[in-house]
Amino acid sequence: MFILVNLKTYPCDPIEVAEAARDVNDETDARIAVAPQAADIARVAETGAETWAQHVDPIEYGSNTGHTLAETVADAGAVGTLINHSEHRLKLADIDGSVQAAERADLETVVCANNPAQIGAVTALGPDAVAVEPPELIGTGTPVSQADPEVVEGAVEAAENVDGDVSVLCGAGISTGEDVVAAGELGSEGVLLASGVAKADDPEAALQDLVEPL
């Protein structure tokens, strides 16, 4: 299972979470990565943790101000990027452009979407993976795998129908190892989570709990 910890703009210490991710990644079979803010990517990557961007813009080198260039976050140490997170919804043409920009910079891509129909849609754009996150469950502590298992199954089916090579992750409300196992049983190859680890008093313990049942 792939566990991608989105640090959002939380007031957490990104280095502490990154070191926890690195250590638990090394001690277990799970793959664990962290996605800090753009300005923190370089120092997070220096910890040795697998580092992702939270977003890249559909742009190339040139006259763009205040945007996130895929090449720049890759140079800073990111190896992948979220695209179209529910807190950063993009136009369809821009999701397409961002996936292409990420690929150009050799960033792995996870494109987020709200529901199975939209998962089918983003799968058609050829990312490495897609992630279904029902917006109404984000931050609730109620895991999607329990509150809405048919959303995860529907997403797996929708992606499979369009392109069997694209992995499916799920997110929203995931905070325990049981939730991760349940997500896997529904066909998910990974999970997105955020507050469960980033806001934990002890991020390393939170990650160990998450991967323990795997």
Catalytic positions, written as ranges: 85, 133
Residues numbered 50-89 forming contacts with a copy of itself, rule: CB under 8 A: 53-55, 59-69, 72-73, 75-76, 82, 84-89
Q: Which residue has the tokens 């490495």?
A: 128
Determine contact, residues 203/44, Cβ cutoff 8 Å: no
Query: Least Å distance between CB 39 and a copy of itself?
Result: 4
Cβ at position 26, least distance to a copy of itself in Å: 25
- Of 14 and 184, CB closest to a copy of itself: 14
Which residues 6+ apart lie within 8 Å of 162 measured at CB? 120, 123, 124
Q: Which amino acid would we find at residue 168?
A: V
Q: Which of 15, 28, 108, 126 binds a copy of itself (CB under 8 A)?
A: 126
Q: Is 164 in the site for a copy of itself (CB under 8 A)?
A: no
DSSP letters, 147-196, are: H-HHHHHHHHHHHHHH-TTSEEEEESS--SHHHHHHHHHTT-SEEEESHH
* 120 binds a copy of itself per the rule CB under 8 A: yes
- Residue 140 found at the interface with a copy of itself (CB under 8 A): no
Quick one: tokens of 82?
Answer: 């979220």
Asked whether the beta carbons of 134 and 98 are under 8 A apart, the reply is: no
- Smaller CB separation from a copy of itself, 34 or 211: 34
Which residues here bind a copy of itself, judged by CB under 8 A? 6, 8-11, 37-43, 53-55, 59-69, 72-73, 75-76, 82, 84-96, 113-115, 117-118, 120-126, 138-139, 158, 161-162, 194-195
